Amino acid sequence: MKDTVRYALVLFIISFLAAILLSTTYAVTQPRIEKARQEQEDEAVKEVLPQAKQTKEAEKNGINYYEALDEGGTLIGYIFICEAKGYSSVIRAVVSAKPDGTLLTIKILEQNETPGIGSKITEGVFLDGFKGKNKNDTIDTITGATISSSALVSSVKATMEKIF
């Protein structure tokens, strides 16, 4: 009985110290991770609509997006970030569209789908299928990666539905 209590106490102390170490590491690294994520988003926003000289944050129906303006302050498009639950991860993408709702560019920010299958959503062949489409058009999914590609298509369309 004495040994059982001693082993339980040792295990508790090790677990407690590991938890403290893990939470401290998280607290120290979280601001850096958030900063890097924000920098990645800012760079992607510039990349999907390079003609925009400035962007202005806006909100509609609970969706935050950017209005892309040219040097004269004329609206040339919208940029938004959408999220979807894919097969094995959350898929985050930044999307640009013309003021009439026609899609221009889509770039995947984050995904951890199955390599070689679900990760095909990052390939140009699939992403180019969005160009020139609007929220009512059919966008082809990827055979073998139906869940991942359907999730992305649905997310883009749902977000566009709220903005346009």
What is the SS3 string spanning 77-140? EEEEEEEEECCCCEEEEEEEECCCCCEEEEEEEECCCCCCCHHHHHCHHHHHHHCCCCCCCCCC
Going by pLDDT thresholds of 50, 70 and 90, the confidence category of residue 144 is confident
- In tens, the pLDDT along 88-132 reads 999 999 999 999 999 999 999 999 999 988 999 999 899 999 999
pLDDT exceeds 90 at position 145: no
pLDDT exceeds 80 at position 64: yes
Beta bridge mates, 79: 66, 96
Burial code (b: 16+ CB inside 10 Å, e: under 16) for 49-67 equals: beebeebeeeeeeebebbb
pLDDT number for residue 111 = 94
